[in-house]
Structure formats: structure tokens, C-alpha cells
Amino acid sequence: MSNKPGIPKGTRDFDSIQLYKRNYIIEIIKDSFFRFGFNPIETPSFERSSTLLGKYGDEGDRLIFKILKSGDFLKGLDKDEIINNNSSKIGSKISDKALRYDLTVPFARYVVQNQNNITLPYKRFQIQPVWRADRPQRGRFREFLQCDADVIGSKSLFQEIEFIQLFDTVFNSLGLRGATIKLNSRKILIGLSEISDCKDKFKDLTIALDKIDKIGMKAVNEELKSKGFSDKSVGIITDLISFSGDFKKSMKLLRMTFENSTTGLEGISDLEFIFSSIENLGLKSCNLSFDLGLARGIDYYTGVIFEVSAPETVTIGSIAGGGRYDNLTERFGLSNMSGIGVSFGLDRIYMVLDELDLFPNVNSNLVKVLFLNFGNKNSLFALEAINKLRDSNVYAELYPDNLSLKKQLSYANKNKIPFVVFIGDDELKAKKFNLKDMNSGSQELLTITQLLNKLS
């Protein structure tokens, strides 16, 4: 059977060069997580459907990949039921597990399940793929890696401060200067809904604010007014946006506005503490900026929210984000566990580093020397030397077949192997190695000791 090969849309193969670059980023993120006291966990790729469904809103539910029950999944299913029901109802009967959609909900599930074995505040990081049945586009895939760090069990704003420093550490280590860490607080957005007597329309506010970049302030204002927001609060929002991140000016206006909103005032003092602390500590590579337009779609955030955008020269949107959530574990039966977490978007960061040419020269092949093959006897002699080289941490290989010299040298060239060794019959007799430097073309006849010294 022949079968023209391909992969499902939105997924990717990675070759070695791409993986060296991806791993370069991953190792820096991982190292920074360790440096800040986070330890790793891993959770299964698929969870029970009941763990995931209903946690990300209707749109999220739709985008979750469901796995068919194995075996006879139609068994016990009434035929009438199938005929009279729609896909989503049938889906829940023939599927009982699903691929994870993010790392945060599985983390909440993990915390509740292991609550007797963990020490609070509990800091963990998790670097694993997630899957979403989203429409693929530039920088958006159906399988992608998330790099998350979360702390659960403390309401301290020092967590917010530490995460801002963590963002800065990661992007500084990657050599990326000028990324902006944008900050807002759900409490301020709640305050704005409260003063408009639109407390119940908080969600409409976040949805509208999320669109500023796309449709502009004027259209957002129209939308807000149509939802019932007062002219006064729409005016304040317009002013705040026009301050474009001037922190002090924004807080001043908000403090006047929030006279009667405890939540709003809390949001202000949270942000003021964070901003003054970071001002005092200093950042290495990133800027910190208040952004009222930052809303972040995900339902579970309750306090400070973050988003990091790439330097302005790169138009790619956010490269990291996160925020504080207060009730995530409640859904699994454990209340009063405030948490906060951030997520780094590997694919976006990769695109930024690529565009700004910030990847170091990563070696795509670690093999230093190829032994050419001139028949079995010579090759066995070569393998003895190869073993000794490998033991001395020189990565070496034997060309497996006794083919033309041209073919063998072309293999070394294509794989960028810097040295080759010839062992002809004369060399074999003399127990010597003819080493050729593929760049300079120079050749030397060496003993095994000389060869080891030369290549180590």
C-alpha cells in the first residue's frame, strides 16, 4: 500500500536545527525557573473530559481535542439516541478523555489531588505540549509547547514582583532587549464596571477592551455604550487609554474615579506597590508599563494580569503572559487557594529571536570526525579508535559502507563534520591514522595517542 505522506494541519515536524534552537530557548526558560525556586512536574497528555470541559468557556470546550473510547465505543448506546442527538451530546458518550488544552487546569487538578503531599506556597513549573483545535495561522498551531510557572497558596504581591523579575531574567538571558511587560488588574476593570453600574457586564468590558488594537478606541466606545456603560466611564476609559501607559497620571485619575469602589481602589494600591518595588529593584532588559487595554480573555483571572510584548520593531503580539487567579482549585473541591502563574510562548519567542537574529551559532552536528570505510578489516581497526575517542568525549562515527571516496566525503561535507580519517592498507599496517582537516584540506599521519590529543 502506498500512501502519500503528510501530517495533520496545524502540526509540525521539527528537524535537528529547529530543535537545537527550540532547546536553546527552553533551557534558558528552565534555568530561570530553577533560579527562582520553581521545581518541575509533568501531567498526562490527556485528562478525563470532566477535568477539562467547562473550564475554558464554550469556545474553549469546542477547541478541546476529544479522544474516542477504545474498543466498541457504540456499545450500550441507544440507536435512537444517536439519531435524535447532536454531535456534542453524542461526543460526551463516545469519548471520556481529551488532550489537555493548557497546563493551568491540569495543575489545579494536580494540586487538589496531591494537597496532602505538597508544601504551601507551592511553586512548580511545567514545560509540555498542549493541543487546541484552533484555526492554524502564523504563530498559531494545533500542537504547541507551553512553558508555565505557577505559585499557589499565597496572596502576597511579592509573587507578582517575582514574576515580573522572572520575565526580565528570561528575556535578558535570551539577549532580547526592549520587550514590554504590560500590567493591568482585573480589580481595576471590575472597578470600572462598578462605577458604571455595570457590575454584571464586567465580561462585556473585557471583551470590548481586548479589541482596541483591532477595531480602534472609537468603535470600542460605541460597543461599550451599546452595552450600557455610562458616558462618564467611557470617557474615563478613553482618557486612560490616551495616557498610553503613563502610570502616575493613570493612577491619579483612577483614584478619583474609584471613590466608591473598594475593589477598584485595591487594584490601584496593588499596582502602586508593584510599580514602586520594581522601580526600586530595576529591570535588566524589559520595560514595565500599565495597560488598561490589557484584559486577557481567560475566565479565571481575578487580580493582576500580565502580558509581554516583543520589542516594537517586531510585529508579533504577546510572547508571554499570565495573571493571578483565586478560585481555580475550587472547581476541584479545594477553596481559598490563591494562585498566580505565567506562561511563555515558545513559538512566538522563536519567531522573535529568528527575526532579530538573536540565536547563537548553534552547532547542528556534534560529530567531530568521520572515519572513512575502506573495507571490513580497516573499519574494525577504525572502530577501536572510535571507541577511544568517544570515551574521551570526542564524538566520532564510521561511514558504514565501503562506497566511493566521493560519496563518503560528501556525507562529511553535508553533515558539516570538520575532520575525516583515512585508514588505507598502509595505514592499517603501520597502525596509523591519516587525519584530514575538511576546512583547510591539510593532512597528517598520526598515532592513536596523537589523534586523541589532536581532537580532544
Under rule CB under 8 A, residue 380 binds a copy of itself: yes
Q: Which of residues 29-68 bind a copy of itself (CB under 8 A)?
A: 34-37, 39-48, 50-51, 54, 62-63, 65-68
Over the window 235 to 264, marking each residue x when it contacts a copy of itself by CB under 8 A and - when it does not, the resulting string is ------------------------------
Out of 82, 215, 219, 430, name the contact with a copy of itself by CB under 8 A: 82
Phi-psi map region of 340: left, alpha, beta (phi>0 left; psi -120 to 50 alpha):
beta
Alpha helices in 64-157 (DSSP H): 79-84, 87-94, 104-113
Nearer to a copy of itself, 46 or 258 (CB): 46
CB 188 within 8 A of CB 254: yes
CB 227 within 8 A of CB 198: yes
# of chain residues touching a copy of itself (CB under 8 A): 111
Q: Which of residues 412-441 bind a copy of itself (CB under 8 A)?
A: 414-415
CB 88 within 8 A of CB 34: no
Distance CA 70, CA 97 (A): 11
Q: In this structure, what C-alpha cell is assigned to residue 43?
A: 501531567
DSSP state of 154: -
Q: Which of residues 300-339 bind a copy of itself (CB under 8 A)?
A: 330-333
Over the window 359 to 378, marking each residue x when it contacts a copy of itself by CB under 8 A and - when it does not, the resulting string is -----xxxx-----x--x--
Distance CA 182, CA 245 (A): 9
Nearer to a copy of itself, 95 or 230 (CB): 95
Nearer to a copy of itself, 4 or 218 (CB): 4
Over the window 162 to 181, marking each residue x when it contacts a copy of itself by CB under 8 A and - when it does not, the resulting string is x--x---x------------
CA distances from 183 to 177, 282, 289 (A): 18, 16, 6
CB 150 within 8 A of CB 118: no
Nearer to a copy of itself, 26 or 358 (CB): 26
Q: Which of residues 117-156 bind a copy of itself (CB under 8 A)?
A: 117, 119, 121, 123-124, 129, 131, 133, 143, 151, 154-156
Query: Phi first, then psi: what are they for 418, rounded to 5°?
Result: -75, -25
Q: Which of residues 265-284 bind a copy of itself (CB under 8 A)?
A: 273, 277, 280-281
Nearer to a copy of itself, 38 or 301 (CB): 38
